[in-house]
DNA sequence: TTAATTCTTGCTCACTGTGCAAACTTGCAC
DNA sequence: GTGCAAGTTTGCACAGTGAGCAAGAATTAA
């Protein structure tokens, strides 16, 4: 996982993408998503509007870049869990790992959650991203065995992601009254897979 | 439920909205969503582009109109279930009722599902619609009592809608090998929050 | 150094979403 | 029916968007 191909070109691309994402998030926080144009974001980073389009299809995508990556990471974590672990337990453990891997509450993450609440169009994109990964997650679960059929795998993946998302929402609504990881883990514990 | 306020004005509006929805769905089926402009849809119905905008924010919304209504109906059905029914059972029953209430497979519904599969942007909107209703559904569940706390209610609502959505996807993938209602009911029986 | 590959940019164009004001339609009370 | 209030449709204008294309710049591999 460390053998990232890291040529100058690759690094520059990653940096630009990250900058665009950060600028998008920051500007959207300051002025609201509607108060920001694609051009504003591009200007902020010092690239052309056209270049922005080379990286992201629209501002929503730019804002949600980190969220997408997070979900991708989550799937990878599930993949990395010990094979003998039962599916639902592996999912719970992967979620815990995800939270443990970064400072909580990650300020950027919180900023994103807040934006999500105010802007339904963001929610829509986020969901779309998650759906795209539902398939992948289900595939990972099936590969892990444990006699999971396609149907149950899909259902678990959908349920799991819904629970994680709901955790975020609830946590934000409760103004962080309790640690996010605990909340999510409790939610995940409230299911009875069979 | 029958005492619909039905003035000419109201009926005309409903008719226009429905026509726009149907035109949007039909054209999208014929040419793919990207091959259809808002103007095409408006022309088809004999109304201006501006008027389209008075009814729907964009073509995705127009295509998904019926889906939105369906989910709304589902929430209403849950609300109508006997109070003594435990929450998850009420949800299952409501889903059954929803399917029973119309011909299966409803050709329009199938058309929509097919479009959803081909166009991620539709998935995004659909999700957004469902999220909006998750809150309402959770509220209904809480009103029904049974000692549901807010957290579990939200989790149940999210899980339930995810399962219903997954049912649709799986059914479509399996080319309708089994009746959709049965599939969804089995899913709902396999996985439940407690 | 050179040639090939990849990335950035500006230009253009069709399409979109919305504010606004003028016409038009409908509802309702007389 | 007439007339007025309330609601609806339309055209117009305008800023913003996403994508194709080709010229030029940067990076890579030789």
Task: Tell me which residues of chain B have a C-beta less than 8 Å from any C-beta of chain A.
Answer: 120-121, 123-125, 127-128, 130-132, 150-152, 154-155, 158-159, 161-163, 165-166, 169-170, 186-187, 190-194
With a 7 Å cutoff on the CB, does B125 touch strand C? no
Pick from A46-55, A56-65, B127-136, B141-150: least confident: B127-136
Q: CA A79, B151, A174: angle at the middle one, nearest 5?
A: 95
Full DSSP string of B150-178: HHHHHHHHHHHHHHHHHHHHHHHHTTTSS
> Nearest nt (C1') to B17 (CA)?
D8
Please tell me which of A13-27, A95-109, B100-114 the model is most confident about, judged by mean pLDDT. Answer: A13-27
**What digits encode the pLDDT tens for the residues B129-143?**
888 889 999 999 999
Per CB-CB distance under 8 Å, the chain A contacts of B61 are: none
What does the pLDDT read at residue A154?
94
Domains of chain B and any CATH numbers: 8-58 (1.10.10.60), 64-190 (1.10.357.10)
Query: Does residue B2 carry a pLDDT above 50?
Result: no
CA of A56 to C1' of C5 (A): 22
- DSSP bridge partners of B191: A193
> What region does B179 belong to: left with phi over 0, alpha with psi -120 to 50, or beta?
beta
CB B33 within 8 A of CB B120: no
Phi, psi of B117 (to 5 degrees): -65, -35
CA of A51 to C1' of D16 (A): 16
**What digits encode the pLDDT tens for the residues A152-194?**
999 999 999 999 999 988 988 887 778 889 999 999 999 866 5
Residue A104 pLDDT class (50, 70, 90 cuts): low
Phi, psi of A178 (to 5 degrees): -140, 160
């Amino acid at each position: 996982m460390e053998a990232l191909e890291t040529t100058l070109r690759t690094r520059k691309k990653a940096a630009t993408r990250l900058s665009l994402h950060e600028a998008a998030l920051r500007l959207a926080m300051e002025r609201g998503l509607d108060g920001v144009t694609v051009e504003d974001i591009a200007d902020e980073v010092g690239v052309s509007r056209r270049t922005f389009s080379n990286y992201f299809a629209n501002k929503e995508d730019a804002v949600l870049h980190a969220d997408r990556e997070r979900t991708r990471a989550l799937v990878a974590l599930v993949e990395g869990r010990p094979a003998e672990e039962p599916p639902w337990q592996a999912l719970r453990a992967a979620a815990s790992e995800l939270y443990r891997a970064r400072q909580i509450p990650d300020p950027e993450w919180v900023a994103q959650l807040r934006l999500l609440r105010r802007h339904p169009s963001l929610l829509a994109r986020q969901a779309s991203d998650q759906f795209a990964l539902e398939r992948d997650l289900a595939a990972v679960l099936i590969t892990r065995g444990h006699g999971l059929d396609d149907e149950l795998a899909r259902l678990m993946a959908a349920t799991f992601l819904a629970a994680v998302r709901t955790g975020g929402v609830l946590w934000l609504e409760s103004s962080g009254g309790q640690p996010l990881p605990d909340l999510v883990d409790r939610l995940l514990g409230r299911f009875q897979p069979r």
